[in-house]
């Protein structure tokens, strides 16, 4: 019953900003790494940014200096602040989390969960 709910996508002009939010809900769980992926038309899904449970971030080269990933463990939430957006950033953005779920007796093996995707469109 774990779900990842995304919000914050939209249409912006080049040079503008958006902030994506992903909230994890449902059951008892522990979240390990979290990240944001994107998939543009005709291209493969790629990792944009990731952050460990301790808050250590990592970014793909194309977004370094422009995007910032952060998380609030108390709220089970991860954010992606996107500044200086470019046309090339246009894609569907997916939230991802590695989650260990508790079934009432023990914690299950870690597995990936995905958000529904949110469209980010940057006009040029």
pLDDT at 82: 98
**Residue ranges of the chain with per-residue pLDDT less than 50:** none
Strands 111-114 vs 3-7: parallel, antiparallel or unpaired: unpaired
d(CA 116, CA 9): 12
The pLDDT value recorded for residue 77 is 97
Give me the numbers of helices (H) and strands (E) for the chain, helices first please.
0, 11
- How many whole angstroms separate alpha carbon 2 and alpha carbon 16? 33
DSSP 8-state secondary structure symbol assigned to residue 105: S
pLDDT for position 74: 95
Question: What's the residue count for the chain?
Answer: 124
**pLDDT value of position 108:** 94
CB 2 within 8 A of CB 25: yes
pLDDT of 105 reads 94
């Amino acid at each position: 019953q774990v779900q990842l709910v995304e919000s914050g996508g939209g249409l912006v002009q080049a040079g503008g900003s958006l902030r994506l939010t992903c909230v994890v809900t449902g059951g008892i769980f522990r979240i390990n790494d979290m990240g944001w992926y994107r998939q543009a038309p005709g291209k493969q899904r790629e990792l944009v940014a990731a952050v460990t449970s301790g808050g250590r971030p990592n970014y793909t080269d194309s977004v370094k200096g422009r995007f910032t990933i952060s998380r609030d463990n108390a709220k089970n939430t991860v954010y992606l602040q996107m500044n200086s957006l470019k046309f090339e950033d246009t894609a569907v953005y997916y939230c991802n989390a590695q989650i260990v779920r508790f079934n009432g007796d023990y914690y299950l093996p870690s597995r990936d969960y995905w958000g529904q995707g949110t469209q980010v469109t940057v006009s040029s």
